[in-house]
Chains A and B, each alone.
Chain A
Amino acid sequence: AQSVAQPEDQVNVAEGNPLTVKCTYSVSGNPYLFWYVQYPNRGLQFLLKYITGDNLVKGSYGFEAEFNKSQTSFHLKKPSALVSDSALYFCAVRDIKTKAAGNKLTFGGGTRVLVKP
């Protein structure tokens, strides 16, 4: 079974400082990994994904993530955080064994990011 862990419930960072949100995964085959962001009372917005290729993936709003196979990690990063980046972040892994290639996502527990001015 696939699983995702986000070890930090909350990350606090000052505006302008680098932001890192951690994610580790467990899959039986090749991992398909995603990051989503959720603002209050909103649905989830897609940020970026890793399927294959370069380990450094660039996504929306200046975010990027680094895939590390040996450490089974997919940490989300932003070089300079903004107050508007304050939100709930979810890492997710695709269940590739779903019948008919349905695209079930297994989510981590979420990390709340608070960027202070």
Chain B
Amino acid sequence: DAMVIQNPRYQVTQFGKPVTLSCSQTLNHNVMYWYQQKSSQAPKLLFHYYDKDFNNEADTPDNFQSRRPNTSFCFLDIRSPGLGDAAMYLCATSRGGGTVNTEAFFGQGTRLTVV
């Protein structure tokens, strides 16, 4: 059974039109992450939540926002998508609380196309 679910799998949006990607988890993990991955490059961390505590990466553009209304759900909002934002967006979860030896669990990703 899927434990980290991302919807939709493929998203096409217009240049400048706000878009929201969603992620849900059944693992009850404290930590949820959003990564951006371009052209089979290494995933780049955008931000993560530790419970309700939001942690933004220093180089994440303001155009990217996130919401975590409860433990199970996390959203990635792109306020004004540009052509350069076309990428695979990966959601992941992991336990927190000092359990640094645990692996992260990834969803299948959402491939975003900007036209």
Which residues on A are within 8 Å of B, measured CB to CB? 32, 34, 36, 41-46, 49, 51, 88, 90, 94, 96, 98-105, 107-110, 112
Contacts and interface: CB of A to CB of B under 8 A. Distances in A.
Given A42-B108, A44-B90, A103-B102, A110 B55 contact: no
A108 B53 CA distance: 27
Nearest to A46: B103
A34 B106 CA distance: 13
A4 to B, nearest CB: 9
Contact of A90 (B42, B45, B88, B95): B42
A102 to B, nearest CB: 5
B42 A44 contact: no
Nearest to A88: B40
Interface size on B, as a range, is 20 to 34
Of the listed residues A32, A88, A104, A110, the one surrounded by the most CB atoms of chain B closer than 10 A to its CB is: A104
A96 B101 CA distance: 9
A112 B40 contact: yes
Nearest to A6: B42
Nearest to A40: B40
B40 A43 contact: no
Contacts of B81: none
Nearest to A43: B106
Contact of B43 (A44, A98, A101): A44
B94 to A, nearest CB: 4
Interface in B50-102: 50, 53, 55, 88, 90, 92, 94-102
B55 A103 contact: no
Given A108-B42, A109-B41, A110-B42, A103 B100 contact: yes
A41 B103 contact: no
B111 A41 contact: yes
B45 to A, nearest CB: 6
Contact of A96 (B31, B53, B100, B102): B100
